[in-house]
Amino acid sequence: MSSLMIGVDVGGTFTDIFVLNEAAGTARVAKVPTTRPDQSAGFLDGIKQEVSDFSQISVVVHGTTAGTNALLERKGAKTGVICTQGLRDVLEMRRRDRPRTWGLRGNFEPVVDRRNRLEVPERTLADGTVRTPVDLEAVRSAAQVLQTNGCESVAILFANSYANTANEEAAVALLREIWHNQHVSASSEILPEIREFERFSTTALNAYLQPEVSGYFARLENALKADGFEGEFMIVQSNGGVMAVDTACRLPVRTALSGPAAGVIAAAYIAQSAGFENVITGDMGGTSFDVSLISQGRSMLSPQTSIDFGMVVRNPMIEITTIGAGGGSIAWVDKGGLLNIGPQSAGSNPGPVAYGLGNTRPTVTDANVFLGRIDPDNPIGGELERLDIEAAGRAIDEHVGNPLGLTTVDAAEAILKVANSRMAGAIRLVSIERGFDPKNFAFMPFGGGGALHAGAMLAEVGIARAIVPRYPGVTSAMGCVIADMRQDFVQTINSSVDMLDEAALAAFMCAHIDQGLALLDAARTNFEARDLSFELDMAYVGQTHTVSVPLTVKTDGSTVTAVTRAEIETAFDATYKATYGRLLQNGVRRILNLRSAVTGKRPKFDLSTLAPPEGGRAEKVGMRKVHFGDTWYDTAIYDRLALPSGTKIVGPAILTQPDTTVLIEPHLQGRVDRFGNTIIEPQEE
């Protein structure tokens, strides 16, 4: 019987594999180098390390940065655009912004060359009236020009198509007949929402990714099948839900934050299982620190993101705040004598000075190495023999210690202090600044470096405790196995509440449910439950920032009992009051968009599968001098994965495992819970 569920997260440096054996109740993890340019080789190698018979696999779920990388590196397909007369430059004109506030430098090339942005006569007005029907002969000849120019994919971008899809539908129907492949994207299909730049950009980027990303997914699926895989292959979306691979091939733009989103999903589940509903996650990589907040077990969603300047993707995605303070971030003293961390980074190659691969400027990791916090003899990843402490110290002296008149140790502590303070700033941003009190949250570090800084986050931000998952280095891969299947839909309504056509709103909801459930039905995965949720983006007339108003909607299968205007008013007032504290007298309430989500809840695996084996040892495996504050401490080293549940380790201590170092500072203690997580908290008096 096939009972293996596999999560695969392909990152910049490593490909992480998480294998869950549902029948046996066991889980295994593997980490292999990411292969380039074709990531599928590493992907398959990683699975093969753990699984010999692919027919045993029921499902493979993939968190991928293939889409993000193709956008950042501008490696998508040659794409054509067919658009409304007079609007060929919307993609290039953006929303009239600039890359940086100060300096006025830099410019922007859209992913579609102006030569491949062709206009056709057609026009729909804002109220949905078709002023000029689409000229299909013009569409046909535009398509021929684009094909002659070598375009692999095409996007149809018509003004106000959110209000009436007729012109776009006619054009797309023709294009799907005559275009030489299936890569045809229409803006009203991808995002039927008002705001032409955001809709056009999302649609054009989708078209740009389609050939490349769907080709990658097809290669993976074929390779899996060639090795005997008969299960289902799914992809994680930016919203933290999974989708079937054929949906992903149609909507690759929805994978923009696939990998990081999976990590947050896993963090939420691990924390919830361990009894923490409110968590702030911190993923520390080589170049950045990514923070996300989970309140009452739910992660925050943001409506859009910019992959790079001018490359806007509008789709619900897990909100992740990034600052440029990772292990590879470079410490430097500016001309005014102030110590700074980043944004320049040595990344993972050449990496910190201690790697000995050519970088000579000190990084956050070099400070950790010099202070004894990282074991120089067993570098993470296993590719390097030994870390060069002396070189790290020299770089710290030259670039930080000497200019500031500090000893090497003090300079290294200073680097950590400034880095920690920047990381703490990011945590304040997602918590205090959004009205959440960090005291009510646990901090969950993951990624390779986060657990070295957990204690500092407790001290700086006033978080009560940190929870380090048992396998912090493979959290995203684990999240792939946990994530639910979810589809988001949007439809612009643009009506004041008193003018709302209740039946039309209900009809949009029905259509969303039909499409969403059809996708769930087509999946071969079992769902424990199916969830529908509906929100309206609403504001008072004249206001530009909307609030998301959740609606309670009675449904039976795919039939919907229409929500009344009165119910909508009540729901808006409640949300508005909760957000701004007071209502506006005589304000006219307006509905901008309907947002629907259809979720298939996948069965959750029991995290005690990961629990420490019976009979582990809570004995130290070594001692090392580690610097905290202003003193060197003789610090005990433990093999983290061998520690049995219930173990309590009093700081200072270091817990090691192949891909992570957990630091327990003096005055803190670490407790191993029944799932193998380490809870770091102040020592009991």
Q: How many CB atoms lie within 10 A of CB 224?
A: 21
Determine the interface stretch with another protein among 296-304, 328-336, 496-504, 550-558 (rule: CB under 8 A): 328-336
One character per residue 531-560, x = contact with another protein (rule: CB under 8 A): -----------xxxx---------------
Q: Can you give 149-176 as a three-state secondary structure string?
A: CCCCEEEEECCCCCCCCHHHHHHHHHHH
Interatomic CA distance for residues 490 and 482, integer angstroms = 25
101 binds another protein (CB under 8 A): yes
685 binds another protein (CB under 8 A): no
Q: Which three-class secondary structure state does DSSP give residue 667? A: coil
Q: Choose which of 1, 52, 73, 104 interacts with another protein (CB under 8 A).
A: 104
Return the CA Rg of the chain: 26
Q: Choose which of 31, 62, 123, 671 interacts with another protein (CB under 8 A).
A: 123
Closest among 312, 193, 320, 321 to 253, alpha carbons compared? 312
What token pair was written down for 103?
């300096």
Residue 18 CB, nearest distance to another protein (Å)? Answer: 36
What token pair was written down for 589?
């309430």
Q: Choose which of 433, 614, 634, 685 interacts with another protein (CB under 8 A).
A: 433
Q: Which three-class secondary structure state does DSSP give residue 408? A: helix
**Are 676 and 657 a contacting pair, CB within 8 Å?**
no
251 binds another protein (CB under 8 A): no
Residue 313 CB, nearest distance to another protein (Å)? Answer: 16
Task: Let me know if 528 is exposed, middle or buried by CB neighbors in 10 A (0-12, 13-18, 19+).
Answer: exposed
Residue 185 CB, nearest distance to another protein (Å)? Answer: 19
**Which helix (DSSP H) or strand (DSSP E) does residue 413 occupy?**
helix 408-430
Interatomic CA distance for residues 421 and 423, integer angstroms = 5
Binders of another protein: how many residues, by CB under 8 A? 62
Residue 59 CB, nearest distance to another protein (Å)? Answer: 41
Q: How many CB atoms lie within 10 A of CB 508?
A: 19
**How far is CA 673 from its chain centroid?**
27
Tell me the residue length of the chain.
Answer: 685
Determine the interface stretch with another protein among 91-99, 376-384, 505-513, 667-675 (rule: CB under 8 A): 91-99
305 binds another protein (CB under 8 A): no
Q: Choose which of 36, 74, 75, 114 interacts with another protein (CB under 8 A).
A: 114
37 binds another protein (CB under 8 A): no
Residue 239 CB, nearest distance to another protein (Å)? Answer: 23
Q: Choose which of 36, 95, 617, 674 interacts with another protein (CB under 8 A).
A: 95
Amino acid at 433: E
- Residue 49 or 494 having the CB closest to another protein: 494
DSSP class of residue 127 equals T
- Residue 412 or 513 having the CB closest to another protein: 412
What token pair was written down for 40?
């599928």
Determine the interface stretch with another protein among 13-21, 88-96, 182-190, 372-380 (rule: CB under 8 A): 88-96
421 binds another protein (CB under 8 A): yes
Interatomic CA distance for residues 512 and 558, integer angstroms = 9
Residue 339 CB, nearest distance to another protein (Å)? Answer: 5
437 binds another protein (CB under 8 A): no
Order of all β-strands in the sheet with 620-628: 620-628, 631-639, 653-657, 660-664
Map tokens 């999946």 to a residue: 523
Determine the interface stretch with another protein among 122-130, 247-255, 343-351, 639-647 (rule: CB under 8 A): 122-130
Q: Choose which of 69, 108, 147, 497 interacts with another protein (CB under 8 A).
A: 108
**Can you list the positions of beta strands (E) in 448-528?**
465-468, 485-496
Residue 430 CB, nearest distance to another protein (Å)? Answer: 12
One character per residue 184-203, x = contact with another protein (rule: CB under 8 A): ----------xxxxx-----
Q: What are the distances in angstroms from CA 523 to CA 29, 486, 518, 527? A: 26, 12, 9, 10
- Interface of this chain with another protein, residues 569 to 608, rule: CB under 8 A: 580, 584, 587
Q: Choose which of 106, 557, 615, 629 interacts with another protein (CB under 8 A).
A: 106
- Residue 118 or 387 having the CB closest to another protein: 118
Interatomic CA distance for residues 550 and 575, integer angstroms = 8
Q: Choose which of 45, 50, 113, 375 interacts with another protein (CB under 8 A).
A: 113
Strand 442-446 with 465-468, pairing: parallel
453 binds another protein (CB under 8 A): no
- Residue 90 or 284 having the CB closest to another protein: 90
Residue 91 CB, nearest distance to another protein (Å)? Answer: 11
Q: How many CB atoms lie within 10 A of CB 430?
A: 21
One character per residue 474-503, x = contact with another protein (rule: CB under 8 A): --------------------x---------
- Residue 55 or 340 having the CB closest to another protein: 340
- Interface of this chain with another protein, residues 337 to 366, rule: CB under 8 A: 337-340
Per DSSP, what are the bridge partners of residue 548? 537
- Residue 88 or 470 having the CB closest to another protein: 88
459 binds another protein (CB under 8 A): no
Interatomic CA distance for residues 302 and 592, integer angstroms = 17
- Residue 13 or 340 having the CB closest to another protein: 340
92 binds another protein (CB under 8 A): yes
**Are 494 and 541 a contacting pair, CB within 8 Å?**
no
Determine the interface stretch with another protein among 224-232, 291-299, 372-380, 414-422 (rule: CB under 8 A): 414-422
Q: What are the distances in angstroms from CA 665 to CA 103, 409, 453, 466? A: 43, 17, 10, 12
**Are 683 and 650 a contacting pair, CB within 8 Å?**
yes
160 binds another protein (CB under 8 A): yes
Per DSSP, what are the bridge partners of residue 533? 597
98 binds another protein (CB under 8 A): yes
- Residue 105 or 554 having the CB closest to another protein: 105
Interatomic CA distance for residues 291 and 276, integer angstroms = 17
131 binds another protein (CB under 8 A): yes
103 binds another protein (CB under 8 A): yes
What token pair was written down for 672?
């191993």
Amino acid at 526: N
Interatomic CA distance for residues 529 and 131, integer angstroms = 45
Residues that bind another protein (CB under 8 A): 86-90, 92-108, 113-115, 123, 125-126, 131, 159-160, 162, 194-198, 334-340, 404, 414, 417-418, 421-422, 425, 428-429, 433, 494, 542-545, 580, 584, 587
